[in-house]
Amino acid sequence: MPTIRELSRWIRDYGHDARRLPRLFADRFVWHQLWTAMDVIDDVDSAMTAYLDHEFPGDTGEKYLRFYGALQGLFLQQDALLDLIKAIHPAKNIGLNDVLKDIRDARTASVGHPTQMRRKGVLSAHGIVQNSMRKNGFELLSYPQKDGKTFQYVPVRELIEKQRAEVVRILSEVVEDLRAEEEDHRSRFREVKLMAVFGQVSYAFEKIFEEIRRDSGPVLSRWAVEHLRQSLDEFGTLLKARGLNVDSYDSIEYLYNQIDHPLTELTKFVKNEPSEILSSESAVVFAEALRQYFDELQQIASEIDHEYEAPPKPVVLPERSDVHVLFTTPSIGKQPTP
């Protein structure tokens, strides 16, 4: 079974994917709320681990701090969980089941609103029985408005464990839904290769270099520069079909900007129009730069195709016995920092 941290890491990666960013980033408050909710869920989980793993204090004041912190943390984590789901997966209808409701009630009565709690129209006051405080929990003395006093045991350790299991269950459902949606999307485009639009790019450059190096009249080079422009347009069209744009990726947007000027000037040159390129030697330099940019663009297209060939990554990645340090270029995805 995955941990809260593993599920959180998967959702963080999902939220930063280039295809999801336009929707999430369109509403800046939702964007910040999403990552705040993720942080709260993870931070509370860390706090609960500390509660379970560390020795329970002997000082009375420290005991109260532990209970106040633990129960308030569970309450915060529930709120963050609901806000997270509303932001990342609004179609998912998640309510608080009886387990989570019981935890909220225990928190409200003991450390939330102990002096005045109203539930189902009944007003009551509550207090922690000081000499009952142990790591596992404490006795809660309650005074309902119409009845006598009652005692209820609040099993703090058990509540932590139950909520952790519920958070894992709910986040797992969310992740499985999102993985299923992503797999459906990838399956629809798995056979539509982005690299296909660059099938004749190498031939186009071959003809460009042949004619400008021979300083002969342009024949196929005019077709070649138009084909390069057409391949860029087709690449952008295929990205849009997938819910992406050229500016969805920093690296693609950068390459499009770098390509535009040399391609424009080379087009003018082979068409015998006024251009910044004044000689065949200069044209070769422009064409070499242009070919390098296209090579980089094709590499990115190949990476996206490869990503679509595989199913969405699992929550828990398989362990690898061989670990290698790879020096790579920055991620092709645009990732605003929250």
Q: pTM of this prediction?
A: 0.81
Domain assignment present for 328: no
pLDDT reading at 126 higher than 60: yes
Q: What is the pLDDT of residue 94?
A: 77
Is residue 162 domain-shared with residue 230, that is, in the same domain?
no
Q: Per-residue pLDDT tens for 18-54?
A: 899 888 888 999 999 999 999 999 999 999 999 999 9
Quick one: DSSP state of residue 198?
G
Q: Per-residue pLDDT tens for 282-308?
A: 999 999 999 999 999 999 999 999 999
Average pLDDT over residues 245-274: 94
pLDDT reading at 321 higher than 70: no
Is residue 211 domain-shared with residue 236, that is, in the same domain?
yes
Cα distance between residue 104 and residue 112, in whole Å? 9
Q: Per-residue pLDDT tens for 151-173?
A: 999 999 999 999 999 999 999 99
Is residue 27 domain-shared with residue 163, that is, in the same domain?
yes
Cα distance between residue 327 and residue 224, in whole Å? 35
Is residue 218 domain-shared with residue 173, that is, in the same domain?
no
Average pLDDT over residues 184-209: 95
Domain assignment present for 49: yes
Average pLDDT over residues 180-206: 95
Domain assignment present for 88: yes
Cα distance between residue 242 and residue 100, in whole Å? 39
For the ranges 17-26, 80-89, 216-225, the one whose mean pLDDT is highest: 80-89
Is residue 288 domain-shared with residue 171, that is, in the same domain?
no
Domain assignment present for 143: no
For the ranges 54-63, 148-157, 326-335, the one whose mean pLDDT is highest: 54-63
- The distance in angstroms from the start CA to the end CA of the chain is 29
Is residue 290 domain-shared with residue 173, that is, in the same domain?
no
Domain assignment present for 133: no
Q: What is the pLDDT of residue 213?
A: 85
Tokens of 119: 């539930």
Average pLDDT over residues 192-212: 94
CA–chain centroid gap for 278, Å, is 49
279 φ, ψ (degrees, to nearest 5) = -155, 165
Is residue 181 domain-shared with residue 225, that is, in the same domain?
no
Q: How many domains does the chain have?
A: 2
Cα distance between residue 43 and residue 163, in whole Å? 14
Is residue 242 domain-shared with residue 161, that is, in the same domain?
no
Express as a percent the part of the chain with pLDDT over 70: 92
pLDDT reading at 252 higher than 70: yes
Cα distance between residue 231 and residue 174, in whole Å? 38
Average pLDDT, the chain: 89
Is residue 255 domain-shared with residue 176, that is, in the same domain?
no
CATH label of the domain that carries residue 249 = 1.20.120
Domain that holds residue 51: 4-114+156-185
Q: Which residues contact 35 (CB under 8 A, 6 or more apart)?
A: 12, 15, 338
Is residue 18 domain-shared with residue 61, that is, in the same domain?
yes
